[in-house]
Amino acid sequence: MTNGPAPAFIPLSVPELRGREWDYVKDCLDTGWVSSVGAYVDRFERAVAEAVGVAHGVAVMNGTAALHLALRIAGVQAGDEVLVSDLTFIAPANAIRYLDAHPVFVDADPVTWQMDATRVEAFLAGSCRREGERLVNRETGRRVACLLPVDVAGHPVDLDPLLELARRYGLPLVEDASECLGAHYKDVPAGSRADMACLSFNGNKVITTGGGGMLLTNREDWARRAKYLSTTAKDDAVEFVHGEVGYNYRMTNVLAALGCAQLEHLGPYVARKRAIAARYREGLAGIPGLLPMEEPPWARSIFWMYTVLVDPAAYGLDSRGLLAELGARNIQARPLWQPMHLSPAHAGCQTLGGAVAERLNRQGLSIPCSVGLTDADQDRVIQTLAGLARS
């Protein structure tokens, strides 16, 4: 590299605040409705539920809280097992453990990177047995209680095979759609067909509330129970009577106000994400050793994180070497998550496969894809990737 001023920093994925965020948040401050009760909370819940095509939304403090509530409402109990994606951020695995239940990690499909339904089917058919109404893991003797597929990197999981298995074996299906708001599966919004779905509005998501999440469902009784549990299970607000152990999980009105403003731009933001992905696909096509995530005909991804697989033999660097070289040039990148079966926090959990998740972790690298990424900055990323490739 030549001496001189460092090039401008290009972040991986940062919020885009271009709408009425200031107006709505100021309204909260002016009226004093800043806590976990207020008109913006109700408005945000209705608007997100409508965007996803479900009847009910329950806004909470983060996506992990939504997952925790969903699993409890789905009937997961201490000692149960939940089949969950191996390639994922740690939140869904942690949520399972919050209930003193056990994750069973399911490897990724090598093409879509999502939960491999063939492994789920083989496990349920060959490694489980019926004991009355219970489905029991032959190896551990524990009840299998739920399926929890994760929509990875803005791409929906192939849900139909998993839903068929869930119905066949009497299991609820909770979809972790945290990274997938605005995506579509077979022409319907991601998260709309699961028994429950969970969203995240963290700062790097396509729309953000700074921190926040939501549980989505078509069942009124489950939505009502989620609101009850997320407001400390309070039965009498005057005498402070609590019928059971609940959680202080409700989203604040200020954060919901931010979310309402953000949601007004969901369509344009998703369109921009897809345009960035299309420019990357075209710009990187001639660079050997960089392989983008596939988008099969049944999926419409939001490309929340634009991720490529780095083949070191063809490219000349491995993913971590490329990560360092990009960082030295003020371009932020990020590997995919450590597979859950390798996480020290979840050591000893049963795993169905794991080799695909390990390969994706070893080779995967996400590159800048903020909604506000300029064409000039994207061109700089593409040119840098081309320049670093083995000539």
Please report how many Cα atoms fall inside a 13 Å half-sphere around the Cα of residue 16, on the Cβ side.
21
CA distances from residue 344 to 90, 272, 358, 364 in whole angstroms, order as listed: 11, 37, 15, 21
3-class secondary structure, 333:
coil
16 closest CA partner among 269, 212, 214, 253: 269
Q: How many Å apart are CA 363 and CA 320, to the nearest integer?
A: 8
Place of tokens 């759609």: 177
Query: 128 pairs with which residues across the strands?
Result: 137
205 is an active site residue: yes
CA distances from residue 130 to 77, 133, 214, 244, 259 in whole angstroms, order as listed: 18, 7, 34, 31, 45
Q: How many Å apart are CA 257 and CA 43, to the nearest integer?
A: 9
Query: 198 pairs with which residues across the strands?
Result: 176, 215
CA 170 from centroid of its chain's CA atoms: 25
- Helical (H) or strand (E) element with 366: strand 364-367
Q: Which of 26, 186, 205, 273 is catalytic?
A: 205
Q: How many Å apart are CA 384 and CA 381, to the nearest integer?
A: 5
- Helical (H) or strand (E) element with 314: helix 312-315
Return the active site residues: 205
